[in-house]
Amino acid sequence: MEWIADPGVGAWLRDRLEPEHSTMHGVVPHGFPAYARVFHPASARSLPDRPVPTSEEWERMPEAERARLIEQVVDVPATWAETAAAFGTTMHPLAQWQRIVRTPVDGDWRTRIAPDGREFTAPMEGALDPDVLSRIAAHLMAGTSTPDAGFAAVWEGFGGLLGFVGHSPSRVFVTFSDDPNHQAMLDRSTHDPFNNVFRKPTWQEGILSREISEGPRLSLLDRDYVVFSAPPRAFADPDWVLQVPWRDLPAEEHGFAPQAQSPNLLWPEDRAWVMVSEIDFDSTIVAGSDELVQALCADERLEAMPIPEGAMLTWDADRVNT
């Protein structure tokens, strides 16, 4: 995989988008025979052998019992269908998370407690778990005549991705030490914010090189992307994170496990399909052939449903769960 300096390879996508965001086609191209919506997994926090206590039960519980239960709490993946069943709502192709978990007006939809006591956490937005992407990519490979040639685009706004000229880095890795001089060193390294503005801006390193960081972008309506050559076959490998040029090596140098943002756009050279993980969506849309969409929706390892061209995916588009 290599960076592509000519973003014109993705210009065809712009021609198939709507100028407004009234439907999903503000980010998902028109003109494909079929569309699948792949729902990003949520998570549920529960106890292995009993429901999580309600807030009233928790208040009445002895402190020792609370401590024992906290040690037993586990987080497990949860599908949207499982979540809907827990909240007594209906799962359907155009479902919206806020409505699925019965979020009140001005309520926090990111974490909700179901009637059975389980705590549900909302799915990730704009990103796919590496394993989920590899499962999708296995079908994408079969849906193109060019599985070894294609393109991936990553939104430029992800923190730490690009370098820039400025006074301070976009992120700082905090380390801990028993050394009594460690905190003093940290204090000395902290710049006075008032005086800092008078210092000459310098290049702040990102995950990608300066050449890429200052290079051209693929501009699609409200989003700009960095484009790479990327064979669809590569993402069918569960270890695709280790292969991509935007792998977060600086974080690994500070002890973090290998990680990389999943592509926001992925398409093959023959343009038989396109996968869109819009940064504000909690689901990924695949536009392609009827056969591809049917295969994705039939895969029991994925939670996917067909949606019509022109579908609305805004937070208030769920007219079933009102």
- 55: three-class secondary structure by DSSP: helix
Q: Which residues pair with 288 in a beta bridge?
A: 34
Give the per-residue pLDDT at 56.
72
Give the per-residue pLDDT at 194.
52
pLDDT 10s digits, 81-99: 999 999 999 999 999 999 9
Which H, E and C letters describe 56-87, residue by residue?
HHHHHCCHHHHHHHHHHCEEEEECHHHHHHHH
> Does the pLDDT at position 190 exceed 80?
no
Residue 275 tokens, joined: 């996968």
Looking up tokens 């969506």, which residue turns up? 281
Interatomic CA distance for residues 38 and 136, integer angstroms? 9
Q: Spell out the residues 6+ positions from residue 297 whose beta carbon is closer than 8 angstroms to its own.
A: 36, 304, 305, 306
> Does the pLDDT at position 168 exceed 70?
no
Kindly provide the b/e burial profile for residues 14-46, where b requires at least 16 CB atoms within 10 angstroms of the residue's own CB.
eeebbeebebbbbbbbeebebbbbbbbbbbbbb
Determine the Cα angle at 157 with ends 156 and 162, to 5°. Answer: 60
Q: How confident is the model at residue 229 (pLDDT cuts 50, 70, 90)?
A: very high
Q: How confident is the model at residue 253 (pLDDT cuts 50, 70, 90)?
A: confident
Give the per-residue pLDDT at 37.
97
Determine contact, residues 38/286, Cβ cutoff 8 Å: yes
Residue 37 tokens, joined: 């919506």
Give the per-residue pLDDT at 243.
92
Residue among 120, 125, 117 at smallest CA distance from 83: 120
Give the residue-averaged pLDDT of 121-127.
Answer: 93
Question: pTM of the full predicted structure?
Answer: 0.83
pLDDT 10s digits, 290-303: 999 999 999 999 99
Q: Give me the residue spans of the domains in the chain.
A: 2-40+126-163+205-307, 42-121
